[in-house]
A = this chain, B = another copy of it.
């Protein structure tokens, strides 16, 4: 199997690089890198005796093709969810062009499109990964505890985002895990608002959604605040989302269907007449990527279950043009007996 998706390469080998590939056969594992990463890759082989480094002296794909050729395999799986069509064509051409074949190999290598192979392994976090995510969530919670210090009337959304990002770094994260969302007033009704020059004002809600990467692993947290006393409409919205959030967390246990965890949140919002106001999934896996398996959404296939070792967000929301938006997000780990809340910070309007 040719693995090219950088987080999958990192998971299998430890290499944290924007480019690189792994060729895994039954007996062997080759890490293919260009000269920029040669030194780092070589260090990795000291911890992984079965890992071997191949330097790509020219284009990476040419080196991948060479490696496939010299491995003498005839069927090669690739990551169809990530490999672009053009690169696939290039690899296929490199592997069928006999003129540049220095050794006798089959005239044709069969490519097999696969999806979710490494991702599925990544979905179950081992003890070390759980410890990393637990520590990351603890640190992110500490940042969230300072939310009221950041969210001050008179500041722009962009300024608040910059303060949050600085706090995330000060808390020991490599960097924010994604572009921090600070969505105030009418902007809070947009689930994917970007921080703007809009000035925060008394009497409006503010959604704060931010994350951090800690030792390679991503955590993600959202709180909704209100500047000054909220009106009855906003309070009802908040209460409904909070109930949905609690219902979804209560549904998390080994063997639970992902669609049922999502459904638990959705049913609460439906009861409050907010079904149409919740236009996204309830959660997503966390790990080397900030959005990974499992998806906690009505769109997953009905058979998908959560298992011990999975870590994901629970983040229902409701977005009502005119009234504003509310989202509350925590990170959970599925345990043998139920679930552990990794983030730990008060939910207060």
Contact = CB atoms under 8 A, between A and B. Distances in A.
Copies in the complex: 2
A87 B85 CA distance: 9
Interface in A48-96: 58-59, 78, 80-89
> Which of A35, A82, A83, A175 has the most chain B CB atoms inside 10 A of its CB?
A175
Nearest to A170: B162
Interface in A161-198: 162, 165-166, 169-170, 174-175, 179, 190-192, 194
A120 interface: no
Interface string A9-22: 00000001110000
Contacts of A239: none
A279 interface: yes
B36 A191 contact: yes
Size category of the binding interface on chain A = 35 or more
Contacts of A191: 36
A194 B16 CA distance: 10
Given A113-B89, A166-B162, A169-B162, A192 B37 contact: yes
Contacts of A280: 36
A85 B86 contact: no
A78 B84 CA distance: 11
Contacts of A87: 81
Contacts of A165: 165, 169
Nearest to A169: B162
A126 interface: no
A83 B80 contact: no
Contact of A86 (B17, B37, B113): B113
A9 to B, nearest CB: 15
Interface in A308-340: none
A36 B277 CA distance: 11
A181 to B, nearest CB: 12
Nearest to A35: B279
Interface string A280-312: 100000000000000000010000000000000
* The 7 residue pairs across chains A and B that have the minimum distance between CB atoms: A80-B86, A80-B85, A162-B169, A35-B279, A81-B86, A36-B192, A85-B88
18 contacts: A35-B279, A36-B192, A39-B190, A58-B299, A59-B299, A81-B84, A82-B84, A84-B84, A84-B85, A85-B88, A86-B113, A89-B113, A158-B174, A162-B169, A165-B165, A165-B169, A166-B166, A175-B179
